[in-house]
Amino acid sequence: MSEYVQTRVANRTGIITLDRPKALNSLSLDMVRALTQALLAWRADAAVDAVVITSTSEKALCAGGDIRFFYDVGRATPTGGSALLEDFFTEEYALNHLIHFYPKPYIALMDGVVMGGGMGIAQGGPDCGLRVVTERTKMAMPEVNIGLFPDVGGSYFLSHAPGRLGRYLGLTGLTIGAADALYVGLADAFVPSAQLSALRKTIESTPAALLPEAIQELAAPFAEQVGPSELASHRDLIDRHFAAESVSAVLASLASDDTPFAQKALAAMRQRSPLMMCVTDELLARGAKMDVAGCLRMERSVVRRNFENGEVIEGVRALVIDKDNQPKWNPPTLEEVTAQMVAKFFEPVWPDYAHPLRHL
């Protein structure tokens, strides 16, 4: 088990607590394995009726995967074939699938930062999942900002968001709060951070079989406190601009709109990797026609191609390692991105019978 993952059982509820605060609980391979081990054990344990995942830090549930690890290993193996890197993504995506289809209530306390890989461990399936946000929640799928793409099932849950909201979130990588998370359908209940101690007491004292209902009852009086959704107020604008036929057309549409919301989205997209925005766009289009397992298998192939390409290495270098915030994207402009470049990311890496996620 990882030193950064604490597990215990209270009143028939399995409680997972992430404890890597200095890294905002960024996931290492050991953490992925510890989470998987606990969830598999509790899935088969008749003495455990529900699972809660939380954090020791009020700053984050989980900020994503350990991108410094991606950078170090990816640089050492520029073809993207490191065994450690392969294991990380295979096991992380298998964990995402396990969580999505977990047969017992899976409750995520999404206080603080929940981004990238953090979304993958928070987005439980619609039948048994319960996702709680607070006023401190900062949610995003910001991968295009580091030359990656929305993975950990993002091709599924973003492509199934209402209207063009998923395309907006995937292409801009912008952060949303509690009200927007609820509006998009990426959260289920709002609890103010001042009430988290009461929430934890409820978790400890309530029989697990009754826990989802008890949490919803605790949250109900605070529904009005979450405030208005910015995405809801700009829904017509989002659906109009992000219905354009290509990433370039989305940018042109936004450029014609001088409202602050449109200009913020435009400015964000101009900083992102042109190539990976186009890959993301294709990923979401394909994901809309796939089930969860199909999306994760697709992402597993695309992430290998991503590291072979090297765009993610440059993105992490610029934003995390050297922190010069001047990534040298290749190609540097959308006009130079070709359909062939995008298609290469979707070329099969393995035959179907050998795909590392073939058993999902």
Active-site residue, 87 included: no
Distance CA 283, CA 80 (A): 20
- Pair type for strands 138-140 and 13-18: unpaired
Query: Which residue among the candidates 14, 64, 65, 153 is catalytic per the annotation?
Result: 65
Strands 106-110 and 113-115: unpaired
Work out the burial of residue 87: count CB atoms within 10 Å of its CB; fewer than 13 is exposed, 13-18 middle, 19 or more buried.
middle
Catalytic, 143? Answer yes
Greatest C-alpha distance within the chain:
59
Annotation marks residue 117 as catalytic: yes
User: Which CA distances in Å does 260 have to 84, 227, 256, 270?
Assistant: 43, 20, 12, 15
For CA atoms 28, 68, 277, 355, the dihedral sign is negative
Cα–Cα distances in Å, from 109 out to 52, 81, 82, 97, 137?
7, 35, 33, 19, 10
Q: Among this protein's residues, is 135 annotated catalytic? A: no
From the candidates 151, 180, 188, 299, which is the catalytic residue? 151
- Active-site entry in 66, 92, 143, 314: 143
Q: What is residue 45's three-state secondary structure?
A: coil
Could you tell me how far CA 312 lies from the centroid of its own chain?
A: 16
Name the active-site residue from 64, 74, 112, 117: 117
Active site residues: 65, 117, 143, 151
